[in-house]
Amino acid sequence: MSLTFKPSVFRMTCLGAAVAMAVTGCAAGTGGGPESQGTSSFSPDAELSGKLSVMGFGTSDEIGQTRYDLATRKLSNVDIKLIEGQLNIQQFLSAVATGDPPELIYADRNQIGTFASRGAIMPLDKCISDEGIGIGNFLDTALGQVTFDGKIYGVPEFNQVQVVFADSELLVGAGLDLSDVDGSDWDRVSAATKAMMERKGGELSVIGHDPKLPEFLPLWVHANGGALISDDGRTAMLNTPEVVEALTFAASIYDMQGGFSEVKAFRDSTDFFGEGNQFATGTLGAMPMEQWYINVLNDVTPEAPVTFTTVKTKDGEPFSYSNGSAWAIPADSSNPAAACRFVKTMTETESWMAAAEARASEREKANKPFTGLFTANTEADQKIRGKFVEDAGAGNWNAGIEASYTANENSFALPANPAGSEFETAWQDAVNAVLNGKQEPQEALDQAQEEAQKTLDEAWESWDSKE
């Protein structure tokens, strides 16, 4: 995705809970079962008409608007209506249950497995092959998130990854460098936290390191050589030694700074998106954070002493935790051919290049660097970088660009499963129980493992029974 701020990332947890509530009360569609490949006809040469309602997508910036304009020109005889705003999951699944869904949806990739297992969306293999969508250009990790039980149920768009942000002045003042906070050596992360942390009048005044729990537990687990779930999405792995050790360590970083509650309260008191952000005020040593925040900092405080690197495994290898959005066609869509054509146009390389040109022009007018797009289409990403991404000038912004592209090329993702929101709730509840001092890591993760596996077993049993 672009390095521009996307507010939707802060809603993911809430949306996950909404999925959990919605799917239990809504009937499934009719076209998404294991044997269904859809009976619709797709052809890149077909003249299309009818209506196309699109739920969950908006044109709030030039990236969306440029591609949308191209899609509407390709579908000039189709009446397109955008239902803007974040995908309303309850509204969508209720529409599926009543047999009147939108023709196309734009959703978080971690929702695709649940939607597919409920029969709410159709497999897209025929759409992809017949319409000629260049699926081979897409990131494997992004495709993995939209591939359920061997079939592709979504076309990925944007890729959100993390890099390490650090205050270069705090690092130098403590005699440290980026290798002390990139996660490759956890003892050094602990030492760096203590070295940069400050307290005044008994209160925290500088956070040495923020591990960003609960949401980034998968990041720490992967760094430790573990995983939260098996590759086939059927087996929870929440209480393995690697996960327990990762949670224990990340929680200890908060404990040495007064506890999670104190760190979070101090973090929340800062002007995160304004001139009083933590790096401009020298109140945060380091943290992993999504790459879009680079543009936020460059826009509001271009002189801030912030520098960047990739998150590293204990073996020193760069990596990131991939998330993002995807297009999916409801099982009972009344115009799947138009939906497929729209998706192809929105995600093809030529459209991304046009959008990048529009973004680069806007950045030039504002005298700001263009830091690239991360689209999940690797061909588009490479061409955009080669044509539009230039020297970002003074400061460490070039390091941010380089770290973001490296992170994007070395990402992992959790596989699609039929109980995505419930699974996420299980491990996040465990993390919160530890952070709030209610349980020890092993106890909390043992409980989460039992709950998550029960939910997965039930969901997979329901799906497998359809075969």
How confident is the model at residue 91, as a pLDDT? 87
What is the arithmetic mean of pLDDT over 12-27? 39
Helices (H), 150-288: 168-173, 186-196, 217-223, 241-255, 260-268
pLDDT reported for residue 7 = 35
pLDDT of 271 above 60: yes
Position 42 confidence tier, pLDDT thresholds 50, 70, 90: confident
CB hemisphere CA count around 272 (13 angstroms): 11
Quick one: pLDDT at residue 383? 97
CA end-to-end span of the chain, whole Å? 36
Calpha distance 202→180 (Å, rounded) = 26
For 134, other C-beta atoms within 10 Å of its C-beta total 14
pLDDT digits (tens, 9 = 90+) for 122-135: 999 999 999 999 99
pTM equals 0.89
pLDDT per residue as tens digits for the range 80-99? 999 988 898 888 989 999 99
Q: Where is 166: in which H helix or E strand?
A: strand 162-167
Which candidate, 286, 282, 294, places its Cα nearest to that of 312?
286
**How far apart (Å, rounded) are the C-alpha atoms in residues 444 and 431?**
7
- Model confidence over 295-304: pLDDT tens digits? 899 999 999 9
Query: For residue 85, what are the contacts with CB-CB under 8 A and spacing of at least 6?
Result: 56, 58
| pLDDT at residue 41 tops 80 | no
Please report the pLDDT score of residue 422 as a whole number: 93
7-159+324-356 has which fold? D-Maltodextrin-Binding Protein; domain 2 (3.40.190)
Q: Which pLDDT score, from 0 to 100, does residue 30 have?
A: 47
- Predicted confidence (pLDDT) per residue in 401-446, tens digit: 999 999 999 999 999 999 998 999 999 999 999 999 999 999 999 9
Quote the pLDDT of residue 188: 98
- Smallest CA-to-CA distance from 371 within 404, 396, 395 is with 404
Q: Residue 142's closest CA among 155, 151, 133? A: 155
**CA-wise closest residue to 412 among 248, 235, 225:** 225
Indicate the fold that domain 162-321+414-462 takes in CATH: D-Maltodextrin-Binding Protein; domain 2 (3.40.190)
pLDDT at 25 over 70: no
Identify which of 259, 258, 278 has the alpha carbon closest to the alpha carbon of residue 268: 278
Q: Supply the pLDDT for residue 236.
A: 98
Between CA 255 and CA 236 the distance in angstroms is 27
Domain with CATH 3.40.190.10 in the chain: 7-159+324-356, 162-321+414-462
Confidence of residue 467 (pLDDT cuts 50, 70, 90): low
Structure tokens, 232: 């086939």
* pLDDT above 90 as % of the chain: 84
Q: What is the pLDDT of residue 39?
A: 56
* Average pLDDT rounded to a whole number, residues 448-453: 98
Q: Residue 29 pLDDT more than 60?
A: no
Query: CA-CA distance, 148 to 136, in Å (whole number)?
Result: 17
Alpha carbon of 251 to those of 222, 248, 254, 265, 440: distances in Å? 16, 5, 5, 16, 10
Q: How far apart are CA 28 and CA 150, in angstroms?
A: 20
What is the pLDDT at residue 89?
Answer: 84
